[in-house]
Structure 1
Amino acid sequence: MLGVFQPNQSVQAEESVKINAGASMLIDADTGQILYGNNEDELLGVASMTKMMTEYLLLEAIKKNKISWDQEYEVSEYVYKVSQDRSLSNVPLRIGEKYNIRELYEAMTIYSANAATIAIAETIAGSEKEFVKLMNKKAKDLGLAKYKFVNSSGLNNRDLKGMHPQVGGAEDENMMSARDTAKLAYHLLKDYPEVLETTTIPKKKFREGTDDEINMENWNWMLPSLVFGYEGMTGLKTGTTDFAGYCFTGTAERDGRTLIAVVMNATDDSGKGSYNARFVETKKLLDYGFQQFEQKELFPAGYQVKGKETVDVSKGKEKQVAIESKEPFVISTKKNQNTNYKPKLTLKSSEFNDEKQLEAPFKKGKVVGYLSAEAKDGQSIEYVTGKGKTNANVAMVTAEQVDKANWFVLSMRAVGGFFAGIWSGIAETVTGWF
């Protein structure tokens, strides 16, 4: 079982990789750049990877002070009944007992506790049905395209004791594409990186020192101290149901690079799904990303696009100002790949007047546009959040401060422009005589 995780099984020499899964995707967590995808747009079951959305909504509610970590939740009959089903991943919750949000969150994030997840949903929205509405709305807000949420936990509705939210049918489950699963993970890490403080916990006791104490071992067995330990593994969420198969969204960091890998309905080479298979396939995918790709600086900080080094200024002491990239433009490329890239400058139309001038006064470092890149051979650089709409785009800023010109200078410019127009008209007339 452990042999596949030994160094001699590396895919370093491979130029491509085959992942045994219904769908899979690999992206750069910093930019959202897609490094690998297979069947990534098919709508498939996501099982407990659903909980990434519940985590997002909880952390958002905490940030907005709608709820707090020490806020207490009193167990409902629905949550109690689900929590007592030990064939599901659960921590025992007593009816009428109170639990704080932090311990429910840890149970959900570390141990994938389903009843604890429903308890969080009820706390945020009053009922799981209303929470599911929030899930689907947030999915739309985040730009997800292929998804269906019918409950907060990712279980099949038949496992919810006849008390499932009346959003889907009695046999419904949550579904997403691999692309949208990766996109959700990308936004979760970008907006709430503190989630990793909990997803990296390998083991913890729930309600330590009480009659309800239970050992929670993280279902992410790729955390460094667990059975499939992988260097740099930090999260994020496993998922398993009969419908979805064995799924995993894994995040790992090495040498300053963070990758997000998604495998859905993972199998071994014979086509059989298992807990082991999802980690074996995730390792192959992450190894491929770390070993076959490198970060490449295409354009340095302070870069100026040839022929577009300046923009015109209106009402300023200077008539033009230089613009440059605020930071280096970096992408992930295959090692030893010789693809050439050209810069693409996109100016923010909202910052310019009808004459395409930047109006003074403004400070040095004012953002006036964005720098991106295009491959000269036509090969596209694709991002999970949409081309040209990711953090890969670098801000183009003014290189200097420009103050507003005084009234006298502006008046002289206006007079000069008037006479220049007259002289131009005379010159054209005289030219026409000959």
Structure 2
Amino acid sequence: MSVVGGERLGRPGTQVDLGSGAPVLPKDLTARSWIVADAESGDVLAAHNAHWRLPPASTMKMLFADTVLPKFPKSTEHKVVPSDLAGIGSGSSMVGIKENETYTVHDLWLGVFLRSGNDAVHVLSAMNNGVDRTVKDMQAHATELQALDTHVVSPDGYDAKGQVSSAYDLTLFARSGLQKKDFREYCSTVRADFPGETKKNKKGKKSRESFEIQNTNRLLTGDSDISTYQGIAGVKNGNTTNAGATFTGVAERDGKVLLVTVMNPEKNEHNEVYKETARLFDWGFRAAGKIQPVGELVPPKGVDTTAQPGAKASGGTSEDDRASSKPVAAATGTRSGSSGIGIALAVAGGFVVLLAAGVFLVNRRWPLPDLMRRRR
């Protein structure tokens, strides 16, 4: 296995250094691979087969979003043509996009994040000059993030020969995506209205109603056998025949922000991937400050990790950069979605990630700018 992030992360099995008073790891973990990391510092608190290359399912959509989301303003409109929906895998999760209907980019991203819609992914890929171009862009971005376990074949995470990632890489994708305001908004949205199909009444008058879609992340929405996880703020789930259940989540508690990725639990119980994730979150919040990290989440290539607080890139900070560092309040409009996410947490103590001229300039190790926390 790879040793990106530290030699211990390249070892098979569970890696953890329990200090005095540290809680033991949960005993009922069955996932083939998992990782618990501090989202701000990048410290890996514990891991199990962190670099195993496994099918990622729809968690690959985190890389898709981190790659493509910045390319199109959310107000951009696109009329869907038949070729946009070509090549979608059989049995794919869909949000319900119709040919010859017009959608905004905002609509499409809601479809990607809430319903894991492969149809929305393919339409956005078509806008990005096609699936092949998008796959190449994603692979290049994975390399930039030092996610070297990842081989992209399909932008939506659908099972494809040779398509793999790892718990380590998926955590890198989540951490990178969470630097973006829109990414944080979409991945934390619980429910939203999605445009339906245009219809004519008997008099020939056209109308277009919408229908509600709900996020399939059960730590965000809850389910019959699992409660909403306190402090959850995203990120993405997946499930396919080859991958089994996969999930990467981010949560905040008492000022500490953790990322947890779980891949393919062997225990075949309903919502098992979320249950194991919740147990790892609970352990991580109790263990923080009582253990020695076993590795780190590396920053992207070219990131200046020596920048001091308050450092500014040449030319200052653009309006978009300042907007990306502002709190993301819970949405109130039905079309924009209902996030259930409230006042933003200044995780980095007020330090802002500067994106001027496309260059990351950060304090120490790449803190999150303003992660949202769930209202209780």
Match of 1:140 in 2: 143
Q: Does 1:107 align with 2:111?
A: yes
Q: Which amino acid aligns with 1:244?
A: A
CA change 1:79–1:136 in 2 (3 A) is same
Match of 1:39 in 2: 49
Alpha carbons 1:77, 1:95 under 8 Å: kept? yes
Match of 1:89 among 90, 93, 105: 93
Match of 2:282 among 281, 287, 305: 287
- Local SS of the residue matching 1:37: strand
Q: Which amino acid aligns with 1:99?
A: Y
* Correspondence 1:344-359 to 2 at 5 A: none
Match of 1:219 among 190, 207, 216: 216
Q: Which amino acid aligns with 1:219?
A: T
Match of 1:298 in 2: none
Structure 1 residue 156: deviation in Å? 2.3
Match of 1:205 in 2: 193
CA deviation string 1:8-52 (max 9, x = no partner): xxxx98422342111000111112110111001110010100110
Alpha carbons 1:54, 1:121 under 8 Å: kept? no
Number of residue pairs matched by the alignment: 279
Structure 1 residue 82: deviation in Å? 6.4
Match of 2:168 among 167, 179, 182: 179
Alpha carbons 2:46, 2:293 under 8 Å: kept? no
Mark the runs of 5 or more structure 2 residues left unpaired by the alignment.
1-20, 200-208, 311-376
- Local SS of the residue matching 2:219: coil
CA distance, structure 2, for counterparts of residue 386 and residue 93 of structure 1: 36
CA distance, structure 1, for counterparts of residue 127 and residue 221 of structure 2: 33
Alpha carbons 1:202, 1:225 under 8 Å: kept? no
CA change 1:256–1:209 in 2 (3 A) is farther
CA change 1:17–1:275 in 2 (3 A) is same
CA deviation string 1:226-258 (max 9, x = no partner): 553110111000011010110000111111211
Match of 1:195 in 2: 183
Q: Which amino acid aligns with 1:216?
A: I
Match of 2:74 among 65, 69, 76: 69
Q: Which amino acid aligns with 2:242?
A: F
CA distance, structure 2, for counterparts of residue 290 and residue 133 of structure 1: 37
Structure 1 residue 94: deviation in Å? 2.1
Alpha carbons 1:82, 1:115 under 8 Å: kept? no
* Correspondence 1:330-349 to 2 at 5 A: 333-334=289-290
* Correspondence 1:241-280 to 2 at 5 A: 241-268=240-267, 272=268, 274-280=269-275
Alpha carbons 1:49, 1:237 under 8 Å: kept? yes
Q: Which amino acid aligns with 1:288?
A: W
Q: Which amino acid aligns with 1:24?
A: W
Q: Which amino acid aligns with 1:283?
A: A
- Local SS of the residue matching 2:286: helix
CA change 1:396–1:204 in 2 (3 A) is closer
- Identical amino acids, percent of aligned pairs: 26
CA distance, structure 2, for counterparts of residue 52 and residue 193 of structure 1: 14
Structure 1 residue 292: deviation in Å? 1.9
Mark the runs of 5 or more structure 1 residues left unpaired by the alignment.
1-11, 62-66, 158-171, 294-332, 338-378, 398-434
Q: Does 1:51 align with 2:46?
A: no
CA deviation string 1:250-294 (max 9, x = no partner): 1111112111100011232xxx2x55110111011100111221x
Match of 2:230 in 1: 231
Structure 1 residue 88: deviation in Å? 2.7
- Local SS of the residue matching 2:248: strand
CA distance, structure 1, for counterparts of residue 223 and residue 176 of structure 2: 27
CA distance, structure 1, for counterparts of residue 241 and residue 43 of structure 2: 31
Alpha carbons 1:69, 1:100 under 8 Å: kept? yes
Alpha carbons 2:118, 2:156 under 8 Å: kept? yes
Q: Which amino acid aligns with 1:205?
A: D
Structure 1 residue 205: deviation in Å? 2.4
* Correspondence 1:17-36 to 2 at 5 A: 17-18=26-27, 19-36=29-46
Alpha carbons 2:193, 2:213 under 8 Å: kept? yes
* Correspondence 1:133-172 to 2 at 5 A: 133-157=136-160, 172=161
CA deviation string 1:335-364 (max 9, x = no partner): xx6xxxxxxxxxxxxxxxxxxxxxxxxxxx
TM-score, normalised to structure 2, is 0.67
CA distance, structure 2, for counterparts of residue 391 and residue 383 of structure 1: 16
- Local SS of the residue matching 1:150: coil
* Correspondence 1:395-410 to 2 at 5 A: 395=308
- Local SS of the residue matching 2:220: coil
Q: Which amino acid aligns with 2:169?
A: D
